[in-house]
Structure 1
Amino acid sequence: MGLLSRLRDVLRRPVEPALSVDDPDLVVVVEAFDIVEADSAALARSSRWRPDELAVLRHHLRIPAEQVERARELLEPDGWVVASGDVSHISRVQKLDALHCSQERSRMASLAQRLGGEALGWDALQPDR
């Protein structure tokens, strides 16, 4: 297969629609706020989650207001968006699977603890269909 054929194939592939953490069509499709429930179990019990589509993974952390900027500095290089309030929401668009949810839950729990706060859990959002 020549270079032009490969380029043509790439250009013909369907493009996944862009998804943004602030997309107004997003709805919660999975919730995981029970620390004893495995992330794989949370995903398995969801009847709305579409595993082949992108989702917004959103972590809920309670961190001191003076530490929010530090959280932002640490997370934004990896594509996370930090929205602060009584509970900070830390979100990123990605494909969801149990392994990555578990890794990120652990990362957020560690971050919250280092910043003097606590990780409350996570949810995932996808466009309503």
Structure 2
Amino acid sequence: MSWLQRLRDLAGKRETAGLTPDTPDLRVVVTAFDPAVADSAALADAPGWTAAAPAVLTHHLSLPADRIAEAAAILAQDGYELREQERDGDRVRVHAVRVQVLDALHCAQERARMAGLAQRLGGDALGWDARQPGDSPTASA
């Protein structure tokens, strides 16, 4: 593991302490399913999003059933957990989930990365959403 990866891992642990994808009372604070809308615009238009707080980032993917294990292994390298949502024949809708602090640059990079991964595996990246606890400082704003 490179020193840069170790530094990112340490920063990620510091930023996301206590929040997991299964934390109760999470609410969707931002969605980005329209490829014509920049991630920065999606974040700017999300009044319930708390910029400095960690969020559960969920990428929605549609993948061939026989490529799920491969996708899970690739995504696990960057801290994503792949969760199966539903099967429709040989296609599976999945969520790639991890906790992180959101910013426009990293959301755009991850969206592009998910699109590339899905394409390589014969699938589609449908978009992403992010959830934060309902008691965040701007929840009532």
Bin for the TM-score computed over the shorter chain: 0.7 to 0.9
1:1-129 alignment to 2 at 5 Å? 17-86=17-86, 87-129=93-135
1:78 deviates by 1.1
Change (3 A) 1:16 1:94: closer
Residue identity (%): 54
8 Å contact kept, 2:62–2:123: yes
List gaps (5 residues or longer) in structure 1: 1-14
Q: C-alpha distance in 1, partners of 2:63/2:85?
A: 9
Going by fraction, where is strand more abundant, 1 or 2? 2
List gaps (5 residues or longer) in structure 2: 1-14, 87-92, 136-141
TM-score, length of structure 1 as denominator length: 0.85
Q: Match of 1:100, as an amino acid? A: H
Structure of greater Rg = 1
Equivalent pairs, count? 115
What's the C-alpha RMSD, in Å, of the aligned pairs? 1.3
Which 4+ residue blocks in structure 1 deviate beyond 3 angstroms?
Answer: none
Q: Match of 1:101, as an amino acid? A: C
